[in-house]
Structure 1
């Protein structure tokens, strides 16, 4: 059991955490026909947009209520109304995701009241879903905002209906890439099940070219699919932060659920596939039986390089947990663990302590590690400490194809086994050449 520590510092040095607002926007980008609308200043929106554009290297649909000093003091009701009307006129969204920011949360805008007044004033837009999520950036982190957006969506859109035995809802946390989600959909579909993924970033941020530019998301979970979630036979919550969403569906529609905190590693994938066998009544397809045997061979080939290695992690809680479990399953030790926000998983990580802190805490605690695992902001730390960095999380702006990174399933586990194994191998060769030189 780890001790969770929050350093008592006067100031954050080199922040690790990303804002709740950014997390909410990321979740909304997985819904088709969506445009996220940030209720705050233009700077808040520009900051989120830059991070997402640099990470995915895609056009990111994002809008703002453009609050100024005057409107912040007098109230943002008119800005919200005008922003929604402008979006309806200019881009014709199917859904609007209205996210609060630190500016408007600090002022204390009555967002529920503002939306209620808007609905009264514009009955012609009563069919337009507007999903409100509270996502202040002065507390919580990306994972919290992402989960809040998913929960708000599940409270707002699904409707009750006759149960469809083959339809299951899959709630995916911020720990999963578009490539991961695509792999998960393929696995679930192979069992004869129909997955409704929320949010489905694999259809919106997977890096594909459309015939024409769209100012709203061109792919993702459709409004029709979101409405039909109440008819699903089961919910698979992938990531501890998705437990709240699964509980919402259970309470509203009596849909049973199961939470999978990781999908990387032999045992984790075995458990996931067994759940799909139980739900569908179908056996594991031969394709995945063969992939399992390939993974076993890959583990034999690479375990020499993982054994007793000391790994330092700086990631969001869900991703921290799954990554730590993977390394420990290969015989590595978690030398240091730093994260952004509280989670029930943190105390369960097999290490001495988990720090809820920043990159300064990470750099100090990572001394003596064999490998760093974090986003691109840790590159300078890796250089200073002369320790290799394996990039995970968001943002990753100094590598290509991060939207297609896959670390789930037998295939994804093999991929990262070889990628990280090659990093260890390269380090050993470098030390050998130095000693022999």
Structure 2
């Protein structure tokens, strides 16, 4: 169990975490025909919008109530009413999803009360669902905002329905890409289940050319699917951040759930397939048995390059757990773990300590590390330390294809192992440009660097 401590610096020098409103907006972008709205100043929304656009390389629908000095003091009712009416008139979304910001939370705006008044005063909004979640950006982080948004969507829109034995609700964590969600959908559907993904960014942020333009999200979980989630036979959550949403579904519709702390790695995917096989009464399809065998071989091939290396990771809690556990299983040492917010996931991390801090904390602690893992804001740190950087998480704005990266399931885990191993191979080749062939065993790695400790069994290359 990792000891969790908080950095005591007066300010964040190179921030690692993103805000709660941004995490909530990210969740809302997974709903079809939805318009996410930040109740705050234009600058709050613009900053989040830039990060989303740069990460996905897509047009992102995101609106603001455009609070200014006067409306902040007097209250934001008129801004909310004007925003709702303008959005409905111009974009005609089926769902308008509002999240608060630090500005309006500090003022103490009663947004829920505002919405009751708006409904009474403006009957033209009756055909539009409105969801509100409280997400002050002065506490918590991206993952917290996402968690509150998913639970808020469930509480506002899901109703109990007669159970459908073949229907499953999948609650993906914010650390999963559209490609990851597609991978999980394919796995679950292989057992004969119909899957409702909530929210589903694989439909809205997967990098497709839409046949039309509506000004709202183009794809994702439809309003009908959200309501139908009340009929699911069971719920699968990926990441501790989905627990609140799963509990809300259970309270509303009596839906049992299973939370998988991660689906990157061998053992958790074995558990997922076992669960699906038991629930469906079907054997595990042969293709997954083949993928498992391929993953085992990839772990064997990759451990020659990961065994004994020291790793520094900066990520949201659930992503930190997924990466840290896999690297630990591959023989790496979790020398430095920096996270953004407190989470029960930290208790499962095989590390001595987790620091709630920023990228400056990570840079100071990572001087002896062999590999850095964080989002694109860590590129300066990697340049200073002259260490390889695996870009992962949000945002990654200096690489393309983020929507299609897959790190879950057997195949996704294999992809991640190859990426890490190839980074280490490239690093060795950089420091030993004329020394070929590259090391093939852990003994070779230790021989090149006598200070390196190798704590994994030596297996002959190609065994």
TM over 0.5: yes
How far, CA to CA, are the matches of 1:364 and 1:288 in structure 2?
42
**Which moved further from structure 2: 237-246 or 5-14?**
5-14
In structure 1, the residue matched to 2:389 is 389
Partner of 1:94: 94
How is 1:64-83 mapped onto 2 (pairs within 5 angstroms)?
Answer: 64-83=64-83
What is the Cα deviation at residue 432 of structure 1? Answer: 2.6
Give me the whole-angstrom Cα distance separating, in 2, the residues matched to 1:377 and 1:434.
32
Checking the alignment, whether the CA contact within 8 Å between 1:347 and 1:354 is kept in structure 2 is no
2: CA distance, partners of 1:64 / 1:433: 53
Query: 1:33-112 maps to which residues of 2 (within 5 A)?
Result: 33-112=33-112
The question of whether the paired residues in 2 share the 8 Å contact of 1:240 and 1:318 is answered with: yes
2:303 corresponding residue in structure 1: 303
Shift of 1:331: 1.1
TM-superposition CA deviations, 1:339-385 (whole Å, max 9, x none)? 00000121332212100001111101111111000000000101101
Aligned Cα root-mean-square deviation (Å): 1.1
TM alignment of 1:260-275, pairs within 5 A? 260-275=260-275
Segments of 5+ residues of structure 1 without an aligned counterpart are: none
CA distance in 1, matches of 2:153, 2:335: 38
Instruction: Tell me if the contact between 2:159 and 2:252 (Cα under 8 Å) persists in the aligned partners.
Output: no
Unmatched runs of 5 consecutive residues or more in structure 2: 437-463
Higher mean alpha-carbon deviation, 389-398 vs 295-304, is at 295-304
- Give the corresponding residue for 2:130: 130
The equivalent residue for 1:378 is 378
Does residue 358 of the first structure (1) align with residue 347 of the second (2)?
A: no
Give the aligned partner of residue 335 of structure 1.
335
Q: Secondary structure at the match of 2:273?
A: helix
What is the aligned partner in structure 2 of residue 238 from structure 1?
A: 238
* Stretches of 4+ aligned residues off by more than 6 angstroms: none
Q: TM-score, normalised by structure 1?
A: 0.98
Greater shift after overlay, 371-380 or 126-135?
126-135
TM-score of the pair, normalised by structure 2: 0.93
- Residues 72-221 of structure 1: pairs in structure 2 closer than 5 A: 72-221=72-221
Residues 115-134 of structure 1: CA deviation (Å, up to 9, x unaligned): 11011112342242100011
**Secondary structure at 2:192's aligned position in 1?**
coil
| Alpha-carbon distance between aligned partners in 1 of 2:426 and 2:160, rounded to the nearest angstrom | 55
Find the aligned partners of 2:324 and 2:414 in 1 and give their Cα distance. Answer: 16
Shift of 1:435: 7.3
